[in-house]
Structure 1
């Protein structure tokens, strides 16, 4: 470290399902090396074993408040529920209509919205991260950005373009130096 400021590492794990343990181990390794570690994620659960010295930045609440998921819930679930609710008083036919509404809403969510959202989500998370989290991180001190999953790639690409001196990688190397 030579009396300089300790380096900062940014770990981007937007949807880390199987790689969460690896991200936690990598964060612990960098912290033991003396670096400051920021972990950026869109998942709210599963970070209990993350070293308390690492800063955890979560985007799950900002994603839930975004207009796209909100609009989908309003159009696919809430509006049909408001239409069917008065008819539910009809007894058995109302109950059948409510079940059909539930199945249709679920099918539209699973078969139309989720495949579309799977492609849009990485771009949405990158935008939310730029607006909500990255202004709190001094990118001049960041020496390495490690991306753990595909949902973090658009953000990593933008960071690499904006900060050409920072090593941005998807490799989970335990090194602070850039590869040649």
Structure 2
């Protein structure tokens, strides 16, 4: 038996961790699909973890934001410092250029603070709405191959960020139950029924 938990945030981390340990205690396979696994509390080592953090970081939307807001400006400040350094070697312009070059690090620090403010106040509120769909596309490319959903018996969607992935899994695998919680009583009854059926077959 195999249960897959989709939990992209730590909102229900305690409950998910308890369910993972319970599934493992039953001798079944427990799989957790999440983002930034290092921010999670202790997860039962018997559970298999698939972390989408690297895939999310490589997605075009976060990459373009980092490029425009941070990487290109940093290169611009480095180029400005290099130009001023060369001008500083010219006797007539040397002293003013060296003085301006010394101010570049402070200018860069002020810009970095500005960039972080824009990231938090402008980018993140918009990205929060796009993130579930970004994570679905990331999971479709990477996680679905690792999950082996053909052999899964249940998928549990543990938070709202994982809803798009759960919805797409339900569409792609119509015979695979996709639920919002793990009903342990129902699961035990199902395992018992399958064990009885297997015993009768032998």
Matches of 2:168 and 2:183, distance apart in 1? 21
- Cα pair 1:145 1:169 within 8 Å, conserved: yes
Q: Shift of residue 67 of structure 1?
A: 2.2
User: Which is helix-richer, 1 or 2?
Assistant: 2
Corresponding residue for residue 15 of structure 1? 9
What does residue 159 of structure 1 align with?
169
1:37 paired residue among 21, 30, 37: 30
Moved over 6 A (4+): none
Secondary structure, aligned partner of 2:156? strand
Computing the radius of gyration from Cα coordinates, the structure with the larger value is: 2
Query: CA RMSD for the aligned pairs?
Result: 2.2
Matched residue of 1:45: which SS?
A: helix
Q: How high is the TM-score relative to the length of structure 1?
A: 0.83
Deviations 1:2-42 (CA, angstroms, capped at 9, x unpaired) = xxxxx1100011112x3212111001111222321111011
What does residue 137 of structure 2 align with? 127
Partner of 1:79: 72
Contact 2:13/2:41 (8 A) holds in 1 = no
After superposition, the C-alpha distances for 1:125-145 in whole angstroms (9 at most, x for unaligned) are: 111112112112232322211
Normalised TM-score (structure 2): 0.75
Unaligned runs of 5+ in 2: 85-97, 191-202
Unpaired runs of at least 5, structure 1: 1-6
Q: How many positions carry a matched residue from both structures?
A: 170
- Give the structure 1 partner of residue 56 of structure 2: 63
1:136 is aligned to 146
Distance, in Å, in 2 between the alignment partners of 1:27 and 1:44 is 14
The 2-side partners of 1:109 and 1:25 are apart by 35
Offset of residue 168 of structure 1: 0.9
Contact 1:144 1:168 in 2 (8 A): yes
Matched-pair contact (CA < 8 Å) for 2:156–2:179: yes
The correspondence for 2:43, drawn from 45, 50, 56, is 50
For each residue in 1:92-126, what CA deviation from the matched residue of structure 2 results, as whole angstroms up to 9, or x when unmatched? Answer: 75355334312321222112211121111111111
Q: Deviations over 1:34-61 (max 9, x none)?
A: 3211110112214563222211111111
Asked if 2 retains the 8 angstrom alpha-carbon contact of 1:8 and 1:37, the reply is yes
